A and B are shown apart, each in its own frame.
Chain A
Amino acid sequence: GNSVTQMEGPVTLSEEAFLTINCTYTATGYPSLFWYVQYPGEGLQLLLKATKADDKGSNKGFEATYRKETTSFHLEKGSVQVSDSAVYFCALGKGDFGNEKLTFGTGTRLTIIP
């Protein structure tokens, strides 16, 4: 079945550091790939997505590239801010009935220190 393996946290970085959160997946066919973010006290929000191989999703300075050859979708940001502190979830979207049920990783808690 479909699965997502995500870099375990927690991750603590200083402001302006470079961020990478690793994500690999197992799926049949061609899933869509997503990064969702959960800020403290808020609900899940879509951060970025990619729908086919070699696509790059980007938003708020974050980027991730859909790599089919390595089945990966690593999240990167060149210079993190305190406001980026949150829990990040990698997910793949592929259902068996034409729908796009999401399979999530376990989440990575990121804390940015000023």
Chain B
Amino acid sequence: GAGVSQTPSNKVTEKGKYVELRCDPISGHTALYWYRQSLGQGPEFLIYFQGTGAADDSGLPNDRFFAVRPEGSVSTLKIQRTERGDSAVYLCASSLAGTSGQETQYFGPGTRLLVL
């Protein structure tokens, strides 16, 4: 079946602009995660959705970052007033339920964001 998909695959923007990154999870997966991976580092957790609600947003770096999942499927990560330090690969992952503590997260290919 189809895996996790993310669009766009690459995004180049200018400092101060607004960007939206989209994630399509695996069908039927209620848990959705966003991570950010800077060059040479491991992914860092940003936010976790269980269904439509953001159950854990403790990883969002500041209030310029916001994410939604209005219908419990597709999610959009929104970044306002982008800064050069926001340049990274943004990864989305989904899992079946997310609450068992033992589930596998399936990752998308990522969106590579470059802020000039």
Which residue numbers of A lie inside 8 Å of B, CB to CB?
4, 6, 32, 36, 42-46, 49, 51, 89, 91, 93-107
7 smallest CB-CB distances across A and B, nearest first, come from: A104-B42, A44-B107, A101-B45, A43-B109, A51-B102, A97-B56, A98-B99
A45–B4 CA distance with the chains assembled, in angstroms: 12
Q: Which range contains the number of B residues in contact with the other chain?
A: 20 to 34
Contact across chains for A99 and B44 when beta carbons are under 8 A apart: no
A89–B104 CA distance with the chains assembled, in angstroms: 15
Binds A, one of B12-20, B33-41, B64-72, B80-88: B33-41
A96–B58 CA distance with the chains assembled, in angstroms: 10
B110 at the A/B interface (Cβ < 8 Å)?
yes
Residue of A43, A51, A99 most packed against chain B (CB within 10 A): A99
Q: Which residues of A contact B44 (CB under 8 A)?
A: 104
Q: Which residues of B contact A94 (CB under 8 A)?
A: 101
B113 at the A/B interface (Cβ < 8 Å)?
no
Q: Which residues of B contact A99 (CB under 8 A)?
A: 31, 48, 50, 55-56, 98-99
Q: A89-B43, A95-B48, A100-B101 are in contact. List 18 more A-B contacts (CB 8 A).
A: A32-B102, A36-B107, A43-B108, A44-B91, A44-B93, A44-B107, A46-B106, A49-B104, A51-B102, A89-B42, A95-B56, A97-B48, A97-B55, A99-B31, A99-B48, A101-B33, A101-B56, A102-B33
